[in-house]
Each structure stands twice: as C-alpha cells, then as structure tokens.
Amino acid sequence: MTPTRREFLQRTGLAGLCLGTPGWLAACEGVARRSPNVVLIFTDDQGYADVGVYGAEGFTTPHLDGLAAQGMRFTDFYASEAVCSASRASLLTGCYAPRVSIRGALTPGAQVGLNPEEITIADLLRGVGYATGAFGKWHLGDAPQFLPLQQGFDQYLGLPYSNDMWPVDYDGTPATSGNKLRWPPLPLIEGNEVLEIVDELADQDQLTTRYTERALDFIDRNAESPFFLYLAHSMPHVPLGVSEKYRGHSEQGMYGDVIEEIDWSVGQVLAALDRNGLAEDTLVIFTSDNGPWLNFGNHAGSTGPLREGKGTAFEGGPRVPAIMRWPGRIPPAAVCERMASTLDVLPTLAAITGAALPPQPIDGVNILALLEGQPDANPRNVFWFYYAAELRGVREGKWKRVFEHRTRSYVGVEPGMDGLPGPYAQPTVPTALYDLENDIGETTDVSDLHPDVVRRLDEIAEVARATLGDRLTGREGAEVRAPGRKSLAGAGR
C-alpha cells in the first residue's frame, strides 16, 4: 500500500522538522554542502517570445539575457498545461495536472486544492535540510489547508490566486464599468493570515517590487544554509501593474514595462546571490506558467512563431521560455533543443540533492544530463498535451498529433486594448499530425504522408488515456489521484 505523505516523510527521514534533532541536523548539513541552492522564478502568462534572447521586440531583458549567456536556454520547454492552477500543480509535484486532479484556474473559495498529501518540491527539499520560501502567486487552493505553509514551505507572502479574481465575500462590482475595468480587492497573505487587502489597482503596481524585496530578504537570511526560493510573480497576468521605476520605460508600452520590471527583479535576485557569494552554488531556473492571454491585445505578450496562446494545446499555450544557470554544471551560452518540461523540475532536483522521489507515480523525468550538456541525452521524448482533463495531443520527437477538439482560439477575432479583453473564437479543430521541426506554427497536417508515425502517436495517446483519462473520449484514468477537498475547518474562508 502506498504510504501517506507523513509516513513517507518519516520513513525516509524527511520529516521536515529535522532542525530539532541535532544528529539529523548534521546529516542535513552533510547533504546540503554538496547541494546547490535552488531559485525558481515563475512568471504568469509570459509568452514564448517575451524574453530578449527569445526574440522580444519593444522591450529589453538584459538580466534574463545574461542568465542565458551564463547558462542554458531551452527551445522546446513545456508548462504542463496552459492555465494557471493546472500548470502550478505540475511544477510543484512533477505530475500532469489530471494525475493530481487540479483543473483550470481555481476560483476563490474553491472546494478543492492541491492535496496536501502530494509531495511538493518544497517537501522534498525541506526534508534534506533546505529552508523553503514561496513569494508571489500560489493558486493551488485558497483555503488555509492548501496554502504554502501546509505544502512544504517555511515562509509565504503573496496572493492566493490570480490578480483578476474576486474573493468570495466580495459583493460585486462588475468586471467592466463603462469602458473602464474595475478590479477587485485581493487578500495579500503572509504565512496563513491575510496581511492586508490589495484594493486599488495602484497597489498591484507594487506587487513585483514587494515579492522581490521578500525574496532578497529570504536569500540574505538563509545565506548560510541551503535554500529553495520559489518566486512566483503575479505579473504579467492582467491587470498589469508596474511601479514608477519602470512605468513608461519600454517602447512597447505597459506590457513591456511590466516585463522589464520582472527582468529588474531577476537582476536583483542574481545580485543578492553575488552579494552573498552564492552564485556558484545556486541553480537558477526561470520559466512561465503558460503562454500569453492574446485577447488582451497590447496587454498580452507574444508567442513569436507559435500557434495560439494561453488556454490552448497548440504550441503557444504550453511552450514557454525557460532558462537555467548553474555555474560549473550547466555549460554557458548553451541552447537545449530537446524537449523538457516543468514536470521534470522535481525529479531533477531530487537527483541533484539526493532527496528521495515521492512514493506515488509522477510524470517528470530527471533532465540533469540535458543540463550538463550531454549531447546524446534524451530523457523526455514524449509529452502529453492535456487541457481541462482532455487529451488534446501528444508529441514524440518532432511529431505532434492533435486530436479533434473544441478550443478557445485567438484567430479571426479582434483583441481588446489597454486592459480590456476581446472575445474568443470557439472552433472545433480537426485531428492532425504536425512536423514541429519544419512547421513550428502547426499549419500543415501531414497525417497522410506518415501513417506509421500516426499509428505510433495514437498508441502513445492510448497509454495517456489509460493512465490519466481523457474527457474527449470518455476515458477514466487508472492512476488519477484525488484532489484535496476543503475541510469543515477550512470552510470559513
């Protein structure tokens, strides 16, 4: 029988409170000396082309470009699913979202959240002696039982969900009033408590700065011990907010200003590592939770050559920029064209730190060989494109099979402007086979030319359906686990 989370942590000696046991503390430090700090910077709705080295236009990202020059840039890196909560569940657990039953973007007061029985990156790393801090957007359930302190983090400051969402007890200014948007008051949470209400759009202008300040403080306070810093910016998710430091700074306008401030934040974090003499001993990972929300027009980012954006299974949805730096282990100025995913972060960190993998099945693979630039390494050759528990496609190597489904689309509709959204189209797209190496924009179905490839990818899809289910074909997955359900004790929020 699979052990519970607590049994697993106790059995593997990872019971979190190791700092209380001198003998175990020594063991923690022994492991930690060989293990790097981990800084994981996760942005919200930043598009594939929204970093200088990925082709950004109208704004610059010198710190991210510098990070890529000192480390590795991934061309084919996937968030597991192109929507906030599902994507975050995967990053922190190494599991496709259907495996842990987190779907879409959880609303305030949601009855479900990330099951605290799941083992997160923070659980794993805390178990081997790391200090763990989360600053920024959480979005894996806003009931207290689902918040970061219950999921392996020692510290938390941030918004429990997206910056465009209403708390359950907010009695309702409509989202649009005339031609102006009204935005709701938001609970800024510290630990498990509401620290203050962010109730003016102007307050959102300070979010990037405030999260950054907490991240820097966390680095400074933990410079002597290994740490895991999860800095999950609310930006550039709408409504956009940027401080005076960067307002009006970019040619592109507000969206460019917001990205430039995120780049400033990256620079501040890197400077803090330098200041504490930690740069050589820290693995820095930068990526985004999903592609741009394109119907917000000039308040959305860019996918460059990719088809569609957020909320779709075409490449513009889940394919995101990803940069990793670890001096001495990751070669400088490297470009990785192999597939990799946020799913792979947890097992890779487990391999690096010697932490035990979770006892229940996960979907990520250890990509350390890719990070080390081993030319023949190919740990992830297959990716399953889930969205809202629908298996919408699978990829093997350069081939991507898309299955007929109804989708949000940004094609043929007029986007909004200056913070107002435009409509979606809702086409049904046909089953197709795309050659991503020669057709990165998924324009031409080549099914008829490659029947063997079609057969193989259809077999891969059957494995996915049997394992994690598929609403498109009415399949139940054999390995789907339950979400966390809100307890009575948590029902007050």
The residues annotated with a catalytic role in the active site are 84, 139
**272 is an interface residue for Mg ion by CB under 5 A:** no
Scanning 187-195, 198-206, 283-291, 323-331 for contacts with Mg ion by CB under 5 A, the matching segment is 283-291
**442 is an interface residue for Mg ion by CB under 5 A:** no
Between the alpha carbon of residue 153 and those of residues 116, 242, 329, the distances in Å are 12, 27, 27
Q: In this chain, which of 44, 76, 118, 263 binds Mg ion, going by CB under 5 A?
A: 44
Q: In this chain, which of 76, 289, 344, 363 binds Mg ion, going by CB under 5 A?
A: 289
Nearer to Mg ion, 65 or 289 (CB): 289
3-class DSSP string for 159-182: CCCCCCCCCCCCCCCCCEECCEEC
Q: Which residue, chain included where needed, has tokens 């020594």?
A: 26
Nearer to Mg ion, 45 or 257 (CB): 45
Scanning 83-91, 334-342, 395-403, 428-436 for contacts with Mg ion by CB under 5 A, the matching segment is 83-91
Scanning 81-89, 209-217, 440-448, 469-477 for contacts with Mg ion by CB under 5 A, the matching segment is 81-89
**81 is an interface residue for Mg ion by CB under 5 A:** no
Nearer to Mg ion, 84 or 402 (CB): 84
**DSSP E strand boundaries for 308-409:** 322-325, 334-341, 382-387, 390-396, 399-402, 405-406
Question: Are 319 and 367 a contacting pair, CB within 8 Å?
Answer: no
CB of 85 to Mg ion, least distance (A): 9
**45 is an interface residue for Mg ion by CB under 5 A:** yes
What is residue 485's three-state secondary structure?
strand
Q: In this chain, which of 290, 353, 366, 467 binds Mg ion, going by CB under 5 A?
A: 290
Nearer to Mg ion, 8 or 161 (CB): 161
CB of 307 to Mg ion, least distance (A): 18
6 vs 14: CA distance, rounded Å: 9
Question: Are 153 and 122 a contacting pair, CB within 8 Å?
Answer: yes
Nearer to Mg ion, 289 or 442 (CB): 289
**84 is an interface residue for Mg ion by CB under 5 A:** yes
Question: Are 353 and 37 a contacting pair, CB within 8 Å?
Answer: no
**50 is an interface residue for Mg ion by CB under 5 A:** no
How many C-beta atoms surround the C-beta of residue 46 within 10 A?
29
Question: Are 253 and 261 a contacting pair, CB within 8 Å?
Answer: no
**Where do contacts with Mg ion occur on this chain (CB under 5 A)?**
44-45, 84, 289-290
